[in-house]
Amino acid sequence: MSLHILCASPFAGSCLEECARVIAADDALLLSGDGVYAALGEAAGTLHALHAAGVTIFALAEDCTARGIDTRLPGCITTVDYGGFVDLAVAHPRTVSWF
Amino acid sequence: MSSPQTAARRSVLVVCRNAPYGRSRARDAIDVAMAFAAFDQPVTLLFLGDGVLALATGQRPAAELSRSLEKLLGTLADYGVEEVHADATALAARGLDARDLALPVRLAGPAELRELFDAHDRVLTV
């Protein structure tokens, strides 16, 4: 059970594609920084597929708000604050960063 | 307080995600895997996505610019890095197969990749 942290825009590189290739159904995915752009367009389609497979998906609220993504979040994404980020990190035995 | 004798040896999966030469990250990933092995930590090296390009044979960088990553890969086993895996999907997407690789690696499909991540205590993506 891993917490995957997506820190870069999926439109700038292959981070989301590679994360989606290795993520397991009982893993969690947290969108952080430019990673919150995964809530948009084709990347959101990838998130929907991961969510349907069982992956829980979170996004840092502050990073969404800063980029105007907070009003565009698909229903499969739950926002968390930094305290929530810490809780997620504690709840998972390993973290995997994608940047 | 933990001492070197009592500290747990935790397994590490080092993931190389970048092509060689454009940036130093591929070399950094190999270096850090060798460092873990040198300190007797169980380490596995995985080449994922563009990282598989670091494994291609025929690398001939201009000597003054960069040392050959291919030669460095040849010394992995000497440093104790014996578990080396490559992303099969990424290899195929780049028109490469096992015959194009500078060293014998285990090819991992999606299921094997998920098992690799799950089987290690820590994951370091580079």
pLDDT in tens, A28-39: 999 999 999 999
Q: B32 CA to chain A: closest CA distance, Å? A: 16
* Alpha helices by DSSP H, chain B: 25-38, 69-73, 88-93, 110-118
DSSP A50-83: HHHHT-EEEEEHHHHHHTT-GGG--TTEEEE-HH
Supply the pLDDT for residue B66. 67
Q: What CATH code is carried by the domain that includes residue B69? A: 3.40.1260.10
Which residue ranges in chain A fall short of pLDDT 70? Answer: none
Q: Is residue B6 part of a domain?
A: no
Give yes or no for B41 touching A (CB within 8 A).
Answer: no
Say whether A2 and B113 touch across the interface (CB within 8 A): no
Give the one of A18, A94, A99 whose C-beta lies nearest to B123's C-beta: A94
Query: Which domains are seen in chain A, by residue range?
Result: 2-98 (3.40.1260.10)
Q: Is residue B10 part of a domain?
A: no
Give yes or no for A40 touching B (CB within 8 A).
Answer: no
Say whether A18 and B120 touch across the interface (CB within 8 A): no
Say whether A21 and B122 touch across the interface (CB within 8 A): no
Minimal Cα distance from B88: which residue of A?
A: A21
What pTM was computed for the model? 0.89
Supply the pLDDT for residue B1. 45
Q: Is residue B78 part of a domain?
A: yes
Under a CB-based contact definition with an 8 Å cutoff, are residues B30 and B76 in contact?
A: yes
ipTM: 0.84
Domain count, chain B: 1
Q: Which domain holds residue B69?
A: 20-125
Supply the pLDDT for residue A66. 95
Which residue ranges in chain B fall short of pLDDT 50? Answer: 1-3, 6
Q: Is residue B107 part of a domain?
A: yes
Q: Is residue B75 part of a domain?
A: yes
Supply the pLDDT for residue B34. 97
Say whether A21 and B113 touch across the interface (CB within 8 A): yes
